[in-house]
């Protein structure tokens, strides 16, 4: 036997003897070192760079209770990012806010030159966010001070994804950018179409984005080289979601919008699902199920492998919504925890059982819900057209 093995064996026997030997009289027992506790975060639009809509959870248990309401001076379409006890969100009043998750105290605000529909991404101690003024900002998360600013030629409604040392976002005039996350210098850009409202989904080596002219694109994440593009028959407004070897994206139908499942490596269409209504919300995916909100306020659960419908749940017409030729148009995208799907529809936030589609509860706000929720630590955070950010918990949370 080698000397290393013998030393390891002796060390193990000594450690075992020490644990079995009682402490001498009067000795103080040493407390066990506590295990490191994970930090619960929801740090970017759709919960992660792959845009799957998965949230850390848990959500509220029991009947919903308003914990607090934070008022801004414009509607809140931006989806909040929650990390380390702070909620970061944008507003149409042109500001980015940092809000204490427990007390609703404003920690700081940073005012841009335009509306902030973009949802912040928090990484590396910084808040990355775009503005309708055409600027993309990296702000210090602790103070809101500008770390760097990058100027573009188009308004930015797209929400950034931060992966490794790069941050990705698109502009309304159709350009996809990759910037150095530390310095703000451009690594590459690509003009993908006439207009882009969607946010990119990113794996370790590929970036996916849809454009309003109906094209789904795949690019090399490091170089910006095009891998493939897939032409649908209609516009793509929702953001793609990436799971394993498949990209899921809503939109692109002849008569009604479709949920498309596209091979992530080749760009070949695998299947399409038509819900008979507009699909401008982004899909949420957990396990073998896809959840998509569209049509006339209907939430669908779809089998990821086949595209078959598993259930649907309608929410009625409690509010007025944005008018569309086929009925109200719903902007909010669903999110999912391990057991519950959350979605905003008109003036309500709904919690739905992910397995059965049964409504668990609803909470009414003062305006339409066009923001997507963030669900962290027993609380749902969501923005509204009444200019407020709501924190909805339960009596036990």
What pLDDT tens digit does each residue of the chain (397 aa) get?
443 333 433 333 333 333 333 333 333 333 333 333 334 455 999 999 999 999 999 999 889 999 999 999 999 999 999 999 999 999 999 999 999 999 999 999 999 999 999 999 999 999 999 999 999 999 999 999 999 999 999 999 999 999 999 999 999 999 999 999 999 999 999 999 878 989 999 998 999 999 988 999 999 999 999 999 999 877 888 899 999 999 999 886 555 578 999 999 999 999 999 886 667 789 999 999 999 987 678 999 999 999 999 999 998 654 344 444 434 445 689 999 989 999 998 899 999 999 999 999 999 999 998 789 999 999 999 999 999 999 999 987 6
Using left for φ > 0, alpha for ψ between -120 and 50, and beta otherwise, residue 346 falls in left
CA distances from residue 76 to 28, 97, 288, 390 in whole angstroms, order as listed:
56, 11, 32, 10
Question: Would you give the DSSP letter of residue 57?
Answer: B
Q: Give the H/E segment covering residue 364.
A: strand 359-364
271 burial level (CB within 10 Å; 0-12, 13-18, 19+): middle
What φ, ψ does residue 278 adopt, rounded to 5°? Answer: -65, 140
CATH 1.20.59.10 fits 40-394, yes or no: no
**Chain position carrying tokens 């370790």:** 204
Residue 165 in contact with residue 185, Cβ under 8 Å? no
- Determine the 3-state secondary structure of 45 from DSSP: helix
For the record, the structure tokens of 110 come out as: 């940073």
Q: Where are the alpha helices (DSSP H) in the chain?
A: 3-20
* Other beta carbons less than 10 A from residue 225's beta carbon: 10
* Other beta carbons less than 10 A from residue 66's beta carbon: 12
Calpha distance 342→236 (Å, rounded): 23
pLDDT (0 to 100) of residue 327 = 41
Q: What is the DSSP string of 3-22?
A: HHHHHHHHHHHHHHHHHHSP
Calpha distance 186→285 (Å, rounded): 32
Question: Would you give the DSSP letter of residue 357?
Answer: -
């Amino acid at each position: 036997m080698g000397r290393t093995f013998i030393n390891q064996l002796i060390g193990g026997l000594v450690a075992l003897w020490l644990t079995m030997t009682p402490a001498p009289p009067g000795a103080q027992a040493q407390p066990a070192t506590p295990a490191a506790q994970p930090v619960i975060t929801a740090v970017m639009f759709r919960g992660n760079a792959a845009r799957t809509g998965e949230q850390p959870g848990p959500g509220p248990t029991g009947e919903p209770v308003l914990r607090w309401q934070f008022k801004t001076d414009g509607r809140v379409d931006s989806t909040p990012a929650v990390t380390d006890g702070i909620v970061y969100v944008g507003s149409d009043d042109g500001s980015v806010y940092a809000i204490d998750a427990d007390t609703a105290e404003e920690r700081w605000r940073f005012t841009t030159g335009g509306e902030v529909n973009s949802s912040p991404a928090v990484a590396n101690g910084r808040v990355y966010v775009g503005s309708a003024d055409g600027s993309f900002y990296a702000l210090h998360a602790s103070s809101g001070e500008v770390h760097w600013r990058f100027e573009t030629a188009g308004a930015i409604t797209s929400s950034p994804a931060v992966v490794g040392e790069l941050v990705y976002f698109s502009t309304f005039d159709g350009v996809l950018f990759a910037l150095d996350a530390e310095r703000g210098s451009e690594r590459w850009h690509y003009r993908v179409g006439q207009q882009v409202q969607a946010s990119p989904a990113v794996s370790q080596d590929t970036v996916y984005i849809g454009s309003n002219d109906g094209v789904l694109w795949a690019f090399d994440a490091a170089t910006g080289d095009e891998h493939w593009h897939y032409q649908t028959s209609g516009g793509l407004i929702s953001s793609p979601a990436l799971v394993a070897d498949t990209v899921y994206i809503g939109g692109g139908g002849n008569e009604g919008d479709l949920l498309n499942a596209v091979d992530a490596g080749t760009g070949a269409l695998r299947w399409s699902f038509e819900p008979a209504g507009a699909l401008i919300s982004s899909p949420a995916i957990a396990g073998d199920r896809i959840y998509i909100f569209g049509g006339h306020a209907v939430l669908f659960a779809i089998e990821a492998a086949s595209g078959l419908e598993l259930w649907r749940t309608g929410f009625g017409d409690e509010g007025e919504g944005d008018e569309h030729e086929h009925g109200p148009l719903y902007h909010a995208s669903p999110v999912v925890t391990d057991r519950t799907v959350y979605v905003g529809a008109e003036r309500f936030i709904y919690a739905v059982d992910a397995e059965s589609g049964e409504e668990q509860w609803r909470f009414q706000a003062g305006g339409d819900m066009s923001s997507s929720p963030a669900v962290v630590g027993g609380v749902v955070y969501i923005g509204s057209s009444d200019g407020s950010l709501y924190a909805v918990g339960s009596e036990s949370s």
